[in-house]
């Protein structure tokens, strides 16, 4: 009984997937917002992020991996 029910459910899933694909094939006739502007919005977002990071890394004065040679001098011992 269990294999019979499992096969029946599997058949229903395949049938419903085929119906859904057939419906989607006929529904989408016109472009929606994502089809028209999706790539432009993505490109402008990437451009904004790159410009923001370039500005941040070059203008706020972070010293990347500074060498302590010549900057750190030992202090005199106090007895």
In the chain, where the domains are located: 8-55
The pLDDT value recorded for residue 47 is: 98
> What is the pLDDT averaged over residues 66-72?
74
Helix (H, G, I), strand (E, B) or coil at 52: helix
Supply angle C-alpha 29, 15, 2, rounded to 5: 155
- Tens of pLDDT along 8-60? 556 555 556 667 666 666 666 677 888 888 999 999 999 999 999 999 888 88
Q: Minimal CA–CA distance to 39: which of 30, 31, 27?
A: 31
The architecture CATH gives domain 8-55? Irregular (4.10)
Please check the confidence at residue 4 and state whether its pLDDT lies above 80. no
Please check the confidence at residue 62 and state whether its pLDDT lies above 80. no
């Amino acid at each position: 009984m269990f294999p019979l029910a499992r096969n029946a459910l599997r058949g229903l899933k395949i049938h419903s997937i085929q119906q859904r694909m057939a419906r989607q094939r006929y529904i989408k006739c016109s472009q929606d917002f994502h089809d028209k502007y999706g790539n432009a919005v993505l490109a402008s977002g990437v451009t904004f992020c790159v410009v923001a990071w370039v500005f941040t890394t070059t203008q706020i004065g972070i010293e990347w991996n500074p060498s302590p040679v010549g900057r750190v001098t030992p202090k005199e011992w106090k007895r």
